[in-house]
Amino acid sequence: MSASAKQPQIIKSKRVLRRTPLVSLSTVIVSAFIVAAIGSLPYLLGSGSYVLLLTGKFLCFTIFALSIDLIWGFTGILSLGQAVYFGIGAYLVALSLKINYAMDHPTRYGHKFPDFMEWNGLTALPKFMEPLISTPFAVICALMIPALLAFIFGVITFKRHIYGVYCAVITLAESLILQEFIIEYQAYTGGFNGITDYSNYVGAPFLWFMLAVTVACFLLARALTHSRIGTVLKSIRDNDLRAEFMGYNVANYRIFVFCISALMSATAGAMYAAWVGIVSFLDAGPVFSVEGVIWTAVGGRATLVGAFVGAFLIKGLEFLLSGLLADVWQLFMGALFIIVVLWMPDGIVGTIADWVRAWRRRTIKQIREDEDRRAFDQQHDWAPAGAAKTGEEAP
């Protein structure tokens, strides 16, 4: 403070700061329409509809992409293993639901534990899985275990200054390891077949619940990225060395946002398992992780809304095109990626935001120029084509 007190020669300038509100009115209106549209689907289509099932899935994918946007778009950590947290969340909830289902629906040999365990030679529910009988406990585990794992991962990597490509490769390996683990220990995880045949929650109430959670996740992400910590995260993304030499413990910030992101992924996974009623090793694998990264990139990094746009657009197109053009739809998807990468490096939302910004800037410039001209005209009492002067000089 003392530095400023001794500087008398400061000229007061116009202190105009362009700041966006936490949630703008237009965002509220548009998202209210979207929420209403999705929320009314069960009534429009009936609760057995495939489109309804897909929409619920897409909501989970949206949260998943949002979690990637937080770490990649805002903090610059490219994780190719975000599906690990999604997968763990999904498997824990699916296991719990499956165990509960098996109690009411005995297997062929009359056992009251999941059928895939029976096929693999188990004679009773393993002791360590017994706590999962309580679904609320399973849900808590499904959220907390991924967050804890993310914390441990963060401490191991970020504290040792491992990031960038190395971090991406490690997370990719993480994802592969989990996938192999699931396939290998099929007595406990269902292996290749995944976990199926349990009572899922598809229907209006759970859809609304998922909508509420999605909105909450968006609000949390917006609040985070909009507060001071958001500015710090972006500064770390832009130049971590400078941030470190500005006194920020960069590793702690990275760990923090990585945990939040893992928690979001796990939330998405847990809801996914409860909604869809089938979980497979693919949901924890590297392919799904990379898919999430692609949704984020196509939608627009560091835009938040891009996660929603990317997930719905790509998965929606996938659904439409695979129905219409069973053989060549993947070509179209490939073309879309190429177009976005080449001509819209900021993603769809990012590019549109750029246009809007450019248009606004031009408008503001125009207004300023008009004002300047008017002020100039008033000062100089601008007469048309030198009329006054000739008038004076006239005899």
Partner 1 sequence: MALLDVKGLTARVSGYTILNNLDFSVDENELRVLLGPNGAGKTTLIAMISGQFKPTDGVINFDGQDITGWAPYDIVRAGIGRKFQVPNMYETLSVYDNVMVSLKGDRKVFNYMLKRISPQDSDRVWEILEFIELAEKANEPADTLSHGERQWLELGMLIAANPKLLLLDEPTTGMTQEGKMRTAELIAKIAKNHTVLLVEHDMQIVRQIGKKVTVLHQGQLLVEGPLSDVVADERVRKVYLGKGKLQ
By the rule CB under 8 A, 238 interacts with partner 1: yes
Q: Which helix (H) or strand (E) holds 291?
A: helix 286-299
Considering only 7, 26, 123, 379, the residue that binds partner 1 (CB under 8 A) is 7
Q: Is residue 6 a contact residue for partner 1 (CB under 8 A)?
A: yes
Stretch that binds partner 1, among 107-115, 230-238, 278-286, 387-395 (CB under 8 A): 230-238
Question: How far apart are the C-alpha atoms of 169 and 155, rounded to whole Å?
Answer: 17
Q: Concatenated DSSP letters for 194-239?
A: -B--S----SHHHHHHHHHHHHHHHHHHHHHHHSHHHHHHHHHHH-
* Residue range at the interface with partner 1 (CB under 8 A); choices 84-92, 106-114, 233-241, 378-386: 233-241
CA dist list (Å): 165 to 20, 76, 170, 178, 233? 33, 11, 9, 20, 18
Structure tokens at 76: 């610059």
- Across 206-221, b (16+ Cβ under 10 Å) vs e yields bbeebbebbeebbeeb
Q: Which of 8, 11, 342, 343 binds partner 1 (CB under 8 A)?
A: 11
Task: CB nearer to partner 1: give 16 or 387.
Answer: 16
The stretch near partner 1 (CB under 8 A) out of 8-16, 25-33, 164-172, 204-212 is 8-16
Verify binding: residue 342, partner 1, rule CB under 8 A.
no
Using the rule CB under 8 A, is 222 a contact of partner 1? Answer: no
Q: For residue 37, state whether it binds partner 1 (rule: CB under 8 A).
A: no
Is residue 40 near partner 1 by the rule CB under 8 A? no
Judged by CB under 8 A, which stretch of 5-13, 36-44, 117-125, 323-331 contacts partner 1?
5-13
Our finding on whether 20 is near partner 1 (CB under 8 A) is no
Residue of 308, 287, 291, 290 whose CA lies nearest to 299: 308
Q: What angle do CA 141, 306, 204 make, to 5 degrees?
A: 55
Does residue 228 bind partner 1 (CB under 8 A)? yes
24 lies in the binding site for partner 1 (CB under 8 A): no
Instruction: Confirm or reject binding of residue 8 to partner 1 (CB under 8 A).
Output: no
Q: How far is the CB of 156 from partner 1 (least distance, A)?
A: 17
Local structure of residue 128 (DSSP, 8 states):
G
Terminal Cα distance for the chain, rounded: 68
Check residue 252 for interaction with partner 1 (CB under 8 A): yes
Binding residues for partner 1, per CB under 8 A?
A: 1-4, 6-7, 10-18, 223-224, 226-229, 231-232, 234-235, 237-239, 241-250, 252-253, 256
